[in-house]
Amino acid sequence: MIDYEYVLKEFKKYVEKFEIKNEEIAMKISHSYHVADLMQKLAKGLELTEEKIKIAKTIGILHDIGRFLQYEKTELYNDIKSKLDHAELADTYLFLEKHIKDFKIPLKDISLIRTALRNHNKLIIENGLPKEEQFFAKLIRDADKTDIFRQSASIYEFSYKKSPTQEAKEQFFKHELVKFEYVNNESDRVLSNLSYIFDINFKESYKLLYETDNLELFLSVVEVGIGYEKEFENIKKEVRTYLEERIKDEYAR
């Protein structure tokens, strides 16, 4: 069984190699802890065994380990602009360069963890995965998106001062992830972030998103331009209704 306290100790040792007083680095460290905590809550809510809960937490704390290398190389947390896929950076560091051994992960758990980390940031999960590997890939994607609403609201500025482009709007109202290539203005960026809600897999994840209030936090920080209030109210109604429809009645607003 994974010794999660040892994993945590090694993670702390790893991030100490970077400029941890740098706000951007500190933000990603905080995000990693939040996602590990969300993974634990989801795993318990889904009634996983103690062994599987430790796997879930380990995936959570390691899921963005490639971000630190990405930022060190480019001072960016953007896979497209940096031309570096942070999940692939993690895969190279942990599995090709064999640093996964630093965390003393049991051999039987390595393939599962590797698959989850490799798939956590992709537009869609790769096809043909074994059932358990697919499950944990879905779980980390849910936990990551749940915290991204909080992280984005806490760090970045968002504005809705013009209508989104037609492509972004169409994808959003089809309840699809808004692809990065369709993000051409600030309003598109708002829709792109909100569209994460359409790519959540488990009812337990929707309940957790509701309970954390992370979605509402994100909605509250968007600066809406004069004349666009009604348009943005429709956007808010769309995501709130979508969330409410996917959780039990007692969680509905």
DSSP per residue, 77-113? --HHHHT--HHHHHHIIIIIS-GGGGGT--HHHHHHH
Q: pLDDT at residue 79 above 70?
A: no
pTM above 0.95, yes or no: no
How much is the CA Rg of the chain, to the nearest whole Å?
Answer: 18
Statement to judge: residues 9 and 96 lie in one domain:
yes
Q: Looking at 96, 121, 144, which one is the last position of a domain?
A: 144
d(CA 194, CA 173): 11
- The 10s digit of each residue's pLDDT in 189-209 is 999 999 999 999 999 999 999
pLDDT at 251: 46
| Mean model confidence pLDDT for the chain | 93
Please name the residues in contact with 21: beta carbons below 8 A apart, sequence gap of 6 or more. Answer: none
Q: What is the pLDDT of residue 21?
A: 72
> What is the span of the domain harbouring residue 205?
157-253
The band of 82, judged by pLDDT with boundaries at 50, 70 and 90, is low
Least confident of 46-55, 69-78, 220-229: 69-78
162 and 79 co-located in one domain: no
The one-letter code for the residue type at 149 is F
CATH number of the domain that residue 83 is part of: 1.10.3210.10
How far is residue 107's CA from residue 100's CA, in Å, rounded to a whole number?
10
Which pLDDT tens digit goes with each residue over 140-180? 999 999 999 999 998 889 999 999 999 999 999 999 999 98
By the 8 A CB rule, do 182 and 188 touch?
yes
Amino acid at 141: R
For residues 101 and 6, the answer to whether their CB atoms sit within 8 Å is no
Are residue 92 and residue 6 in the same domain, yes or no?
Answer: yes
**pLDDT number for residue 253:** 42
In percent, the amount of the chain with pLDDT more than 90 equals 83
- Report CA dihedral (186, 191, 196, 197) to the nearest 10 degrees: 140
Q: Identify whether residues 13 and 138 lie together within a single domain.
A: yes
The last residue of one of the domains, among 144, 176, 201, is: 144
